[in-house]
Amino acid sequence: MPQEVLQLRLLGVLVRHFWSSATQYIISRLRSECPRIGPHSSCAAWPYSGRYVSPMLPPGRPARPLCPTASPASSELAGTASGTTPPRRHAVHATPLRRYVMRCCERACMSELSFRTPLQMDFSPCHSVLAGKTVLLGVTGSIAAYKAADIASSLQKLGVTTHAVLTAAAQEFITPLTLQTLTRNRVITQQFDIGVEMNVEHVALAKAADLLLIAPATANVIAKLAHGLCDDFLSTTALATRAQLVVCPAMNTNMLEHPATQQNLSILRGRGAVVVASQTGMLACGDVGDGKLAPVQLIVDRVAALLLGGTSLAGKTVVVSAGPTLEDFDPFRFLSNNSSGKMGRDIARACEMLGARVHLVAAESYPGFGGVWTKTRSAADMHAALMADFPVADFVFMAAAVSDFSPVRSDRKLKKTEEAAEMRRTRDILAEMGAAKTHQVLCGFAAETENLRAYGEDKLRRKNLDFIAVNQIGGAVGFQSSSNEIMLLDRLGGEHHSGVMDKLDIARWLVQIVTAAK
């Protein structure tokens, strides 16, 4: 055997021996430092109270702080609050080894919190206007059943309490465990389930639901709904509920276009059901045609609009600009900025949820957008599109990051040896709107690095705006982020602070304030 191989094997044995010894030592230190690692480590976590309660603690044993690195003083306070005397702790010396052990201890505790008791943690989003709403999600036996996971996850993020019901055929495509994990509620899979609470469950859920969403809906289930059949839990609940019914068909094109299916859909519409139409695309059978489940975002937005009432902006026209502009130097290079356009697109979504006619002016739209989208590239394109839509607008949200300068475009690629490109100022779209507005409510945006209030008030006054949303750039929120924090100033001197929230939540908050001004 070559000497190099022997050396490598010997090195491997030494490393394994050292690692085993080190691991045993660290575990022993963890057991002595952290009482949660040991025979009484099973716990129920309450992450927002900073404490945990263990159902396996012996009587009289005090609850300890959530953080394993809590000082002796804080442990004493915790023991006093619980009415017990905490055990004495030795002095903590911040040696490098102790710090490393305590970091390992903290990670182990958080791992326990994450994996042992996930269903007992509070994940409910703050500030959501849909908190407290309940949706019953019915999943049927279509290949598109896997998209129910995305629907459930999206509804949970909006604060909606979601209960899933799977038909027997649906379980061939998606497991109950998947939806139970995402909804954090038990999934109903059969009509008669031994071992659950003694209650007529289909009636209880039917009464609790604000909306019954069936996505995807097969031709078989649509026929059952249309003719009042109830031979499983989903169809029984659909007959027992008085909640709004939303049906999202997904099936082969020939099945969808069959007169029986079309008649059944017409019957459901006649009873007040909302049918989210399928789309044309590549189907599971390989054909290209109608029958593809509507985009998840469109389904979720339609559900949110129905839960919110969807009427506060009915008959109103809202113009929204979003994203960056791209100013071309030549056929290869352009000048742009870091705006993702998500804030503007979420404002458009929030307005759609409230029943408005939305005109979106941006380089990109979003899946399921049901309004008028004008695709633009440069500041000049955006100026032309916005000024054309402005006269019919009731509300305008100028969330786009429009370039202040544009290079004089060259028809050929510029070389390094050539002189710098000539720059010229672009037209100030927001100022022109402010000067021309009559009945419109105009909300501008300002991204600043400093003096947010001063710069925001100056821009509000100079451009004759009704509102200006100011956010600070350069931190963890804002550009290229899913969250944001906004200070909203109005022309009457009012000031509103959103706090850090998801951009869609901020969009709903912003739309609610701005549209209330008219």
Task: Determine what percent of the chain falls in helix, strand and coil, rounding each to the nearest 5.
Answer: 40, 20, 40
Q: Tokens at residue 501, please? A: 């929230």
Dihedral Cα 9, 15, 18, 23, nearest 10 deg = -120
CA distance 394 to 409: 36
Side by side, the strands of the sheet bearing 211-217 are 161-166, 134-139, 211-217, 244-249, 274-275
CA distance 137 to 214: 6
Around Cβ 174, how many Cβ atoms within 10 Å?
20
Q: What is the DSSP string of 105-149?
A: HHHHHHHHHHHH-GGGS--PPSS-TTTT-EEEEEE-SSGGGGGHH
Around Cβ 162, how many Cβ atoms within 10 Å?
23
In the annotation, is 285 catalytic?
A: yes
* Residue 58 per-residue DSSP state: P
Give which of 380, 289, 285, 282 is closest to 328, Cα–Cα.
380
SS3 212: strand
Is the bond into 295 cis (omega within 30 degrees of 0)?
no
CA distance 75 to 67: 10
Give which of 108, 155, 497, 115 is closest to 307, Cα–Cα.
155
Q: What's the longest Cα–Cα distance across the chain?
A: 90
CA distance 111 to 108: 5
* Marked catalytic residue, from 126, 285, 351, 443: 285
Catalytic residue annotation: 285
